[in-house]
């Protein structure tokens, strides 16, 4: 019997040694010519097929629905049902293992994960994947480095600085320690003076204005390196019974790591990022929390946090970041008479890693100082660029006058988008429908959206034109082949997940939400409301939700990997780096996208649009 069976491929990678022996004892090898029907509709299968070489196409009602390549298996569903519901044809010469039905049934009976991965629905497969990740992933604490945690700013003073000046530094900078440089003994020393040292000086009735800080400082610093892991820093704190350590990088002190910050980081707390945002006095002060948001994303993902939860958290943190930046730039009068809003994935709460800026500003009809507004918007767009948010290629940003208008002008413009639906105007409409207020007078945005919904009522032609954008990326039609053609060069192994599936789900749901006057912004909330109104097929409900989050997670995984290797976030994934289970889930998700697009074509009569 064959001994080269690949037990690293899903779903066989979850088998124990005894179950692997059962597989070895129960498989044989089968050969099929190009064009040969391996399984036909209505036949009673006796084996599960696992491909070694070649490709097999699956057809339903003469339409190709799947393509299987090496290490893929089929037809588990038919095997358990006792009847094949699809046709499986060899697209070239095929060599495959065939695993006896009795062995498959025994494996399913003894190993629930194997059964779930073999023929369960997408939701159960994703649950099985989550369980396996929780078993095998290393704890985030052992992966995270000190440099990724919240480091408090260091304030240096000379050893001759008097205690009164040190107290002033404590008060103005809301810190409880300073680092002390001392050259008095012929060598450069670095010490620390803390609030505890100050309390002792006061109790000893030492005069603050005439006493230098140097002699009262501690020069036995407890240090860690920025590249150390967090668990090492925690061990140092425990070992020396201290609540803070000095973080060094290439011989220089770059910050202090407090025990409370370390523990908060381990607990995945975002409160310190928010605190840093609120405490910012300048735009430069906001650069640190902007970077920390990205670090938090990486940590949360490694720790197994669901992608939907990460996206929601990032939306809230980015909102606080944008709100604070705008408050530092715009005058109180401008803030009172405007509404700053974000759009697109940021507005839906589905943007995770930093992508293009998509934002706008609505001005009150009676606001007159347009030069001030233009200047503030220019500064805001520049600040976001400094925070790591790239400029929008389409200039959908507040520094573009087309996205900085009065309430009346916005109502007129959005009406024109609806009544004169060009490709550009439909794109603008789609982006604007996802708008979410950040700060200012949110009633301004509410009024414009209300006017939009009133215009849409019973306009089926317009809705069909709007929904037809799901066909924008039909060039991605060959994703079945691209999933299985591994080992090529260039971009052959890469898929743009937005084009392949994310956009179709997001925009299709957006079109249904527009049709039904649903105010919710996120795709998941829109789907839930559509289901409640009986406007969304229940058999698609869970699959579409799960597919969107799976595609978002794969995209996030790839983006984090690109950031860690100093590459730009491309929005693409390298299929060759996916596990067999991840490839299986990707195929399932893109099949769901295909089903959803077909529903949309029928619902909006897109064949006539």
Q: Which of 99-103, 300-304, 493-497 has the highest mean pLDDT?
A: 99-103
Note down the domain range covering 259: 146-265
The pLDDT value given to residue 264:
63
The total of other beta-carbon atoms located within 10 Å of residue 158's CB is 13
Asked if 239 and 367 sit in the same domain, the reply is no
Domain end position, chosen among 426, 456, 486: 456
Length of the chain: 609
Note the helical H segments in 204-306.
230-240, 259-266, 271-279, 287-302
Q: Omega of the bond prior to 243 within 30 degrees of 0, cis?
A: no
Domain end position, chosen among 421, 456, 491: 456
Asked if 401 and 342 sit in the same domain, the reply is yes
Domain end position, chosen among 456, 488, 514: 456
Question: Residue 284 domain-assigned?
Answer: no
The pLDDT value given to residue 429:
92
Instruction: For residue range 197-248, list pLDDT tens digits in order.
Output: 999 999 999 998 999 999 999 999 999 999 888 777 877 886 677 889 999 9
Q: What is the DSSP string of 213-241?
A: SGGGSB----EEETTSBHHHHHHHHHHHT
Q: Which of 293-297, 562-566, 590-594 has the highest mean pLDDT?
A: 590-594
DSSP state at residue 349? T
**Which of 226, 270, 229, 311 shows the shortest CA–CA distance to 559?**
311
Angstrom distance (rounded) from CA 341 to CA 553? 26
Asked if 45 and 152 sit in the same domain, the reply is no
Per-residue tokens: 81: 């049902």
CATH of residue 498's domain is 1.20.120
Question: Residue 240 domain-assigned?
Answer: yes
Report CA 383 to chain centroid distance, whole Å: 22
Asked if 511 and 591 sit in the same domain, the reply is yes
Is there a contact between 212 and 157 (Cβ–Cβ < 8 Å)?
no
Instruction: For residue range 424-444, list pLDDT tens digits in order.
Output: 898 899 999 999 999 999 999
Mean pLDDT throughout 514-522? Answer: 92
Is there a contact between 578 and 554 (Cβ–Cβ < 8 Å)?
yes
The pLDDT value given to residue 156:
94
Question: Residue 448 domain-assigned?
Answer: yes
The pLDDT value given to residue 128:
55
Asked if 158 and 45 sit in the same domain, the reply is no
Angstrom distance (rounded) from CA 179 to CA 196? 14
Mean pLDDT throughout 582-598? Answer: 88
**263 pLDDT more than 50:** yes
Q: Torsion-angle region of residue 341: left (phi > 0), alpha (psi -120 to 50) or beta?
A: beta
Asked if 530 and 592 sit in the same domain, the reply is yes
**484 pLDDT more than 50:** no
Is there a contact between 237 and 243 (Cβ–Cβ < 8 Å)?
yes
CATH of residue 39's domain is 2.60.120.10
Asked if 418 and 385 sit in the same domain, the reply is yes
Per-residue tokens: 402: 């087309």
Which residue is listed with tokens 């929390």? 289
- Which secondary structure element, helix H or strand E, spans residue 314, and what is its range? helix 307-329
Instruction: For residue range 356-384, list pLDDT tens digits in order.
Output: 899 999 999 999 999 999 999 999 999 99
Buried b (16+ CB within 10 A) or exposed e, 356-390: bbbbbbbbbeebeeeeebeebbebbbebbeebebe
The pLDDT value given to residue 475:
44
Angle (CA) 496-499-504 rounded to 5° is 145
List Cα–Cα distances, 140 to 88, 297, 376, 584, in angstroms. Answer: 43, 12, 40, 26
The DSSP bridge partners found for residue 557 are: none
Percent of the chain with pLDDT over 90: 46
Sign of CA dihedral 435, 440, 444, 450: positive
Angstrom distance (rounded) from CA 417 to CA 436? 19
User: Which range among 10-14, 95-99, 221-225 shows the weakest confidence by mean pLDDT?
Assistant: 10-14
The DSSP bridge partners found for residue 191 are: 180
Per-residue tokens: 92: 């070239």
DSSP helix/strand/coil, 31: strand
Angstrom distance (rounded) from CA 117 to CA 309? 24
**56 pLDDT more than 70:** yes
Is there a contact between 322 and 438 (Cβ–Cβ < 8 Å)?
yes
Q: What is the DSSP string of 367-420?
A: ---HHHHHHHHHHHHHHHHHTT-PPPTT--STTSGGGEEEHHHHHHHHHHHHHS
Asked if 439 and 517 sit in the same domain, the reply is no
Asked if 246 and 177 sit in the same domain, the reply is yes
Question: Residue 105 domain-assigned?
Answer: yes
Which residue is listed with tokens 């036949």? 43
Angstrom distance (rounded) from CA 22 to CA 8? 16
Residue partners of 505: CB distance under 8 A and separation at least 6: 523, 544, 547, 548, 551, 593, 596
Asked if 473 and 441 sit in the same domain, the reply is no
Mean pLDDT throughout 462-480? Answer: 72
Instruction: For residue range 379-427, list pLDDT tens digits in order.
Output: 999 999 999 999 988 899 999 999 999 999 999 999 999 888 788 898 8
CATH of residue 419's domain is 3.30.460.10
Mean pLDDT of the chain: 85
Per-residue tokens: 549: 């989050």
The DSSP bridge partners found for residue 338 are: 363
Per-residue tokens: 263: 């523990």
Angstrom distance (rounded) from CA 548 to CA 51? 28
Is there a contact between 129 and 550 (Cβ–Cβ < 8 Å)?
no
Model confidence at 324, pLDDT cuts 50, 70, 90, reads very high
Angstrom distance (rounded) from CA 309 to CA 182? 49
Q: Which residue has the higher pLDDT, 77 or 208?
A: 208
Question: Residue 315 domain-assigned?
Answer: no
The beta-strand segments (E) located in 443-560 are 494-496
DSSP helix/strand/coil, 185: coil
CATH of residue 201's domain is 3.10.580.10
Mean pLDDT throughout 31-58? Answer: 92
Radius of gyration of the CA atoms of the chain, in A:
30
The beta-strand segments (E) located in 499-567 are none
To the nearest 10 degrees (0 to 180), the angle between helices 538-564 and 307-329 is: 60
Question: Residue 296 domain-assigned?
Answer: no
Question: Residue 104 domain-assigned?
Answer: yes
Asked if 433 and 511 sit in the same domain, the reply is no
First to last CA, the chain: 58
The beta-strand segments (E) located in 386-527 are 404-406, 436-440, 494-496
Residue partners of 185: CB distance under 8 A and separation at least 6: none
Asked if 344 and 448 sit in the same domain, the reply is yes
Mean pLDDT throughout 481-502? Answer: 65
Number of domains forming the structure of the chain = 4
The pLDDT value given to residue 541:
85
**110 pLDDT more than 70:** yes
Which residue is listed with tokens 């939700």? 545
User: Which range among 183-187, 468-472, 499-503 shows the weakest confidence by mean pLDDT?
Assistant: 183-187
Angstrom distance (rounded) from CA 346 to CA 179? 41
The pLDDT value given to residue 26:
92
- Which secondary structure element, helix H or strand E, spans residue 32, and what is its range? strand 27-32
Question: Residue 56 domain-assigned?
Answer: yes
């Amino acid at each position: 019997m064959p001994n080269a069976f690949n037990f690293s491929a899903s779903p066989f990678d979850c088998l124990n040694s005894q179950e692997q022996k059962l597989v070895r004892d129960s498989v044989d090898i089968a050969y099929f010519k190009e064009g040969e029907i391996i399984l036909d509709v209505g036949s009673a299968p006796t084996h599960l097929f696992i491909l070694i070489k070649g490709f097999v196409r699956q057809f339903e009602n003469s339409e190709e629905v799947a393509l299987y390549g090496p290490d893929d298996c089929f037809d588990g569903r038919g095997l358990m049902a006792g009847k094949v519901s699809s046709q499986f044809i060899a697209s070239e010469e095929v060599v495959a293992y065939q695993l006896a039905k009795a062995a498959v049934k025994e494996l399913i009976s003894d190993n629930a994960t194997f059964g779930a991965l073999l023929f369960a629905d997408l939701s159960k497969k994703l649950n099985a994947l989550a369980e396996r990740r929780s078993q095998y992933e290393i704890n985030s604490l052992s992966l995270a480095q000190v440099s990724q945690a919240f480091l408090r700013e260091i304030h240096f003073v000379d050893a001759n600085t008097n205690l009164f000046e040190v107290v002033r530094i404590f008060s103005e900078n809301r810190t409880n320690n300073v680092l002390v440089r001392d050259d008095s003994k012929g060598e450069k020393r670095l010490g620390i003076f803390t609030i505890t040292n100050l309390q002792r000086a006061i109790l000893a009735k030492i005069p603050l204005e005439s006493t230098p800080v140097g002699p009262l400082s501690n020069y036995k610093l407890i240090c860690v390196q920025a590249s150390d892991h967090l668990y090492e820093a925690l061990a140092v704190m425990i070992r020396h019974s201290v609540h803070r350590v000095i973080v060094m990088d290439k011989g220089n002190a770059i910050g202090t790591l407090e025990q409370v910050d370390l523990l908060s980081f381990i607990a995945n707390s975002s409160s310190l990022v928010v605190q840093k945002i609120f405490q910012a006095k300048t735009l430069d002060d906001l650069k640190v929390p902007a970077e920390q948001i990205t670090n938090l994303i990486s940590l949360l993902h490694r720790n197994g946090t669901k992608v939907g939860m990460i996206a929601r958290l990032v939306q809230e943190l980015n909102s606080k970041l944008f709100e604070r930046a705008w408050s530092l730039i715009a005058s109180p009068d401008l803030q009172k008479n405007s509404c700053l809003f974000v759009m697109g994935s940021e507005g839906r709460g589905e943007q995770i890693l930093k992508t293009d800026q998509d934002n706008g500003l609505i001005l009150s009809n009676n606001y007159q100082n347009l030069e001030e507004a233009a200047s503030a918007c220019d500064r805001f767009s520049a600040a976001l660029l400094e925070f790591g948010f790239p400029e929008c290629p389409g200039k959908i940003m507040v520094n573009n006058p087309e996205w900085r208008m009065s309430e009346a002008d916005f109502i007129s413009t959005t009406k024109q988008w609806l009544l004169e639906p060009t490709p550009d105007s439909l794109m603008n409409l789609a982006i604007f429908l996802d708008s979410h207020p950040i700060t200012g007078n949110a009633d301004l945005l509410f009024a414009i959206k209300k006017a939009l919904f009133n215009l849409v009522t019973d306009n089926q032609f317009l809705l069909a034109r709007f929904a037809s954008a799901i066909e924008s990326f039909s060039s991605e039609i060959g994703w079945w082949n691209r999933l299985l053609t591994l080992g090529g060069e260039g971009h052959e192994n890469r898929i743009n997940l937005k084009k392949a599936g994310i956009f179709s789900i997001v925009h299709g749901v957006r079109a249904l939400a527009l049709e039904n006057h649903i105010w919710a912004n996120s795709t998941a909330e829109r789907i839930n409301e559509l289901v409640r109104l009986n406007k969304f097929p229940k058999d698609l409900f869970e699959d579409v939700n799960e597919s969107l989050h799976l595609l978002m997670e794969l995209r996030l995984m790839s983006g984090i990997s690109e950031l860690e290797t100093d590459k730009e976030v491309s929005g693409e994934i390298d299929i060759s780096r996916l596990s067999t289970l991840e490839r299986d889930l990707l195929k399932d998700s893109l099949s769901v996208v295909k089903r959803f697009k077909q529903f949309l074509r029928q619902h909006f009569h897109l064949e006539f649009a």
